[in-house]
A and B are shown apart, each in its own frame.
Chain A
Amino acid sequence: MGLFRKTTAPPPLSREEALACIPVRNQAIQASQTPEGMVRLRYPLILKPWIAELAQRFRSVPYTPPSRQLELDELGSLTWGLIDGRRTVGMIVRQFYRRTQVHPKEAEAAVTRFLRELGRRGIIGMATGGQGKAY
């Protein structure tokens, strides 16, 4: 029976495939610049569907999801500036270590952790299956 068939998770991406992904900014994000030159992001909070439904029922005015602000530091602002919808993760890592002079391995760890955090908050998405080069 198809109803109870166990769904199989897609195989995890290899490291090269992950570095060839292209980060894409969420169009709903409002980015602004602070007086110190850092990037400030305003992003809608992702609620669980049942919480959003409950909020909708008990409100008289149309429901708008709450938003949060995230202020990036120098390195975060630099990485955010490198996300243009064309560069792969690997290219961003390479640009990052060229500009900051950190070790390539450190750049990879810092950039991938930062992108994962942005993805978790729904600020960026990842385009896979492209022909982008990892390095």
Chain B
Amino acid sequence: MTIRGHATKPFAWAGIELTIPAEWDTGQLGDGYALLEHRYRPVLEMKTATIRGRFNFQRHFKALARSGRNRSAPPLRLASRPPEWPAFSKRMDVQPFTWQGDQLGGRGLLLYCRDCRKATLIQFYDHGDHRLAAIPDVLASFKDHTSGSGPTVAVYDIQATLPDRFTLTRFQFDAGRFELAFTRSRESVTLWRWSPADVILDRCGNTLSHVARKNSLLPPAVIDQDGRPVAGGMEWQWPARGYRHRLKRFFAHRAPPPGHALRIWHRSDTNRILAVRAEAIDTFDTFDGICTSYGSI
């Protein structure tokens, strides 16, 4: 897929999906916040929040625009939608805006979806060059509730698709180590990514089991067990031992008992180590699906 002849890649964070030029990189991520960069300069900023209660356009626009801006930031001016920008669904309220500082300007829009009750503010930084040419196509790719087709998370160089209603509860992006935790009711899924894999494997005796043990991915009950080899890696499965899971197993004879699983594998083509741990997951098919979808962009 291309945007005006340029390669693209997916970006998905906080329930928002976009298709962005391949040369744009993730700059900063926060709770409902993302900043994308191109050659060390900010190019796209996004804030999103689910609105509780009644949506008031002026009030929520002010609140979203104000958060994170310093007091001397230039004022936002409401504007009409440029003709080259896409028209959004009738279920969405849209308000474009612009701002102009001494050295930098920007334009963007606030979107409110009446179906998912999510308000999203997207702004593009104007550096006076070609970067703004991608705006119409980036906006045309905007999705703010699950379509079932795109990834749940696609940031930096990783992407993964999780089943519906899994929500991101914790994330940490350190140089060399990423960790993202998702939960759905009592189920939890954690994704890890380490890089560069050759250096990490060298420090851990060139075995993925050592990487898993060194990073405390395995509980004491199975830490000494050898994992089952899978394509490019290792996998461990063990039953859930809590009283709640035992009761569930007792009363639901035919349903498979919930279990825990860990899979860790090495992607030599991208020099990455990836791992997925699922806890209290109902079916291992779900776990397998998550592992299959998890990879590099």
Beyond A74-B202, A134-B40, A135-B40, is A102–B26 a contact (Cβ under 8 Å)? no
**Chain B interface, DSSP helix/strand/loop, else mixed:** loop
Q: Are B26 and A105 in contact (CB under 8 A)?
A: yes
Give the chain A neighbours of B175 by CB distance below 8 A. 102, 106-107, 109-110, 113
Chain A nearest CB: distance from B153 CB in Å? 15
Q: In the bound complex, how far is the Cα of B202 from the Cα of A44, in angstroms?
A: 32
Give the chain B neighbours of A109 by CB distance below 8 A. 174-175
Q: In the bound complex, how far is the Cα of B201 from the Cα of A10, in angstroms?
A: 44
Q: In the bound complex, how far is the Cα of B40 from the Cα of A75, in angstroms?
A: 22
Q: Are B199 and A100 in contact (CB under 8 A)?
A: yes
Q: Are B40 and A101 in contact (CB under 8 A)?
A: no
Give the chain A neighbours of B27 by CB distance below 8 A. 105
The answer to whether A103 has its CB under 8 Å from any CB of chain B is yes
Give the chain B neighbours of A101 by CB distance below 8 A. 195-196, 270-271
Q: Are A15 and B157 in contact (CB under 8 A)?
A: no
The answer to whether B176 has its CB under 8 Å from any CB of chain A is yes
Q: In the bound complex, how far is the Cα of B196 from the Cα of A61, in angstroms?
A: 49
Q: In the bound complex, how far is the Cα of B174 from the Cα of A113, in angstroms?
A: 12
Beyond A74-B199, A100-B196, A101-B270, is A16–B40 a contact (Cβ under 8 Å)? yes
Give the chain A neighbours of B202 by CB distance below 8 A. 74
Closest B residue, CB atoms, query A99: B196
Give the chain A neighbours of B195 by CB distance below 8 A. 100-103, 106
Closest A residue, CB atoms, query B269: A101
Residues of B in contact, count (CB < 8 Å): 17
The answer to whether A124 has its CB under 8 Å from any CB of chain B is no
Q: In the bound complex, how far is the Cα of B75 from the Cα of A41, in angstroms?
A: 52
Q: Are A135 and B39 in contact (CB under 8 A)?
A: yes
Chain A 87-106 interface residues, beta-carbon cutoff 8 Å to B = 90, 100-106
Give the chain A neighbours of B157 by CB distance below 8 A. 103
The answer to whether B97 has its CB under 8 Å from any CB of chain A is no
Q: In the bound complex, how far is the Cα of B157 from the Cα of A104, in angstroms?
A: 10
Closest A residue, CB atoms, query B195: A102
The answer to whether A19 has its CB under 8 Å from any CB of chain B is yes
Give the chain A neighbours of B156 by CB distance below 8 A. 103, 105-106
Write out, one digit per residue, whether chain B residues 101-141 have a CB within 8 A of any chain A CB (1) or not (0): 00000000000000000000000000000000000000000
**Chain A interface, DSSP helix/strand/loop, else mixed:** helix
Chain B 179-212 interface residues, beta-carbon cutoff 8 Å to A = 195-196, 199, 202
Chain B nearest CB: distance from A101 CB in Å? 4
Q: Are B176 and A106 in contact (CB under 8 A)?
A: yes
Give the chain B neighbours of A104 by CB distance below 8 A. 25
Q: In the bound complex, how far is the Cα of B271 from the Cα of A106, in angstroms?
A: 14
Q: Are B39 and A102 in contact (CB under 8 A)?
A: no
Q: In the bound complex, how far is the Cα of B26 from the Cα of A16, in angstroms?
A: 17
In this complex, the member of A16, A90, A100, A134 whose beta carbon has the largest number of chain B beta carbons within 10 angstroms is A100
Give the chain A neighbours of B174 by CB distance below 8 A. 109
Give the chain B neighbours of A90 by CB distance below 8 A. 40
Chain A nearest CB: distance from B102 CB in Å? 14
Chain B nearest CB: distance from A26 CB in Å? 25
Closest B residue, CB atoms, query A78: B199
Chain A nearest CB: distance from B34 CB in Å? 13
Chain B 190-239 interface residues, beta-carbon cutoff 8 Å to A = 195-196, 199, 202
Q: In the bound complex, how far is the Cα of B25 from the Cα of A28, in angstroms?
A: 39
Chain B 242-271 interface residues, beta-carbon cutoff 8 Å to A = 270-271
A residues near B (Cβ < 8 Å) are 15-16, 19, 73-75, 90, 100-107, 109-110, 113, 134-135
Listed by A's residue number, 20 A-B pairs whose Cβ atoms lie within 8 Å are A74-B202, A75-B196, A90-B40, A100-B195, A100-B199, A100-B271, A101-B195, A101-B270, A102-B175, A102-B195, A102-B196, A102-B271, A103-B25, A103-B195, A104-B25, A105-B26, A106-B175, A109-B174, A109-B175, A113-B175
Contacts A106-B175, A110-B175 supplied; 7 other A-B pairs, CB < 8 Å:
A73-B199, A101-B270, A101-B271, A105-B27, A109-B174, A110-B176, A135-B40
